[in-house]
Amino acid sequence: MKKILSILGFIIVGFLILTGQSYIPDDATSVKIEVKEISPYIPLDLKRPVNNIPVILYSPFGITSVGPNFRPYPHTATQSEVVGYCNPNVQNKVIAGWNSYGPSFYGTGFGLSTNGGVNWTGNYTLPGLSVNSGDPSVVVSSNGKIYMNAIGPSSSTQVVTWSTDNGVTWAPYVIAAQISSSVADKNHMTIDDKATSPYYNYLYLSFTDFSNSNQPLRFDRSTNGGANWGNTQYLTSTLGFRFQGVNIHTGPNGEVYMVWATRDAASPYTERYVGFAKSTNGGANFQYSKENAIAITGIRGYLKTSNIRVNSFPWMAVDKTGGPYNGNIYVTWSQKNQAPAGTDPDICFAKSTDGGLNWSTPLRINDDPLNNGRDQWFSNICVDQYGGVNIIFYDSRNPSTNDSAEVYVARSVDGGNSWTNILVSDHRFKPKPISGLAGGYQGDYIGICASGNTVYPLWCDDYTGAYQVWTAPISLGPSITHTPLTDDKYRW
């Protein structure tokens, strides 16, 4: 056994050296290595205190290193509602955006790494968008140009700014869309990042138009790097529902896909379906739209123990790796009181292998016992360069009173058929509303992206006393064959 462990340790250290992975927490003093093993058959707890120690896991999908937790851009302002983006053509560049609250100001902050998460720069507010209403969405073009979208100085506008020098300076914002009144809210922007697509580097933006009593989704695009926006289209319910929580991604051949929550028109606005739409001509028009593509029962409302507001807005990822699952569309959301979820909020997943025409039977992703009174909420999803599917979510499975949360990432390497849960946060926090903001508000979503062999989970918690963005880079390594460890305390 000692010989086996020695060989395993040599392989692990060699893997870390060859891949150049290192992490610099904001309070780092030294870095050590801790070894654990994941078993797909024995789902035991793995609890870790805050430290600077990467955890090495031998999992069903190979060696995995979960880096120490750290804050990419610590600041006195509260940070919430984080999103992230990694362009597969621009290796090692990671961009995150979030809502930044002073309380003397409210706007959009960002953090940026150009060396795979080793070092980070950023700002508590965007110079090109110093006055805005938050809700950031970020992308990176093939030449490294960073785009940030947010609700504008007027809440009835959607604006876009960009930086060509890694966030040092930002262009004056342009108005990408404007509605007659009210709020242009829950926006999302994406970019066609597939080099072989005829619409390479097109930008796409969508949001809910709350000035319209039917609250439809509005869609706009830019074909010239964000300078001009147009081709406005609306997607409206024909069944008396409302649309909210849109998410856009592109496919391997330039397809434009959108998903959203189709919800009740009246309080408590429960989400009833995941809607889906598809364009095959670069967003010129949408040839296919179905507002009830996946039946769900959403969790919109407030968590009982923490009184934070939650929702079931769906998030989507598309496999564009060219591998065996190329073209698959993956969607995740939270639900309850409908299988496969139980009576408490659970994370669900479905996929389409035919361009969104048909969807698989939903799966429950969190692997704690069903109906155990524990909450899972705010999931997000990405596909890494190996075709692995990664879902991040908040999770209260471990504390005995359901009053605290951790962050997990579930990973699948077989196209979403089976999943392994990985605990990525090394501390717990008690979810609570952020003082001075909307009732119950702790943020309305969470982030994740992948670049190279690293997955970057992004979340917000107030472990330091104020809500801040955290990450714990997950390094994906090669699979090895070894004799399993026999002591169950090293299993998960």
Report pLDDT digits (tens) over 270-320. 999 999 999 999 999 999 999 999 999 999 999 988 899 999 999 999 999
Helix (H) or strand (E) holding 204: strand 203-209
> Which burial class, exposed, middle or buried, applies to 436 when counting CB atoms under 10 A from its CB (0-12, 13-18, 19+)?
exposed
> What mean pLDDT, rounded, does the chain reach?
85
The reported pLDDT for the residue numbered 54 is 66
E-assigned strand segments in 155-195? 157-163, 174-178, 184-191
User: Facing residues of 100 across strands?
Assistant: 79, 107
Q: Could you read off the pLDDT of 90-107 as tens digits, one per residue?
A: 989 999 999 999 888 888
pTM for the predicted model, two decimal places? 0.87
Q: Phi/psi class of residue 33: alpha, beta or left (left: φ > 0; alpha: ψ in -120 to 50)?
A: beta
Positions in the chain short of pLDDT 70: 1-54, 56-63, 128-132, 477-492
**Confidence (pLDDT) at 489:** 30
Q: Which domains does the chain have, with CATH numbers?
A: 1-70+472-492 (no CATH), 73-469 (2.120.10.10)
Collapse the DSSP code of 58 into the 3-class scheme (helix H, G, I; strand E, B; otherwise coil) and give the result. Answer: strand
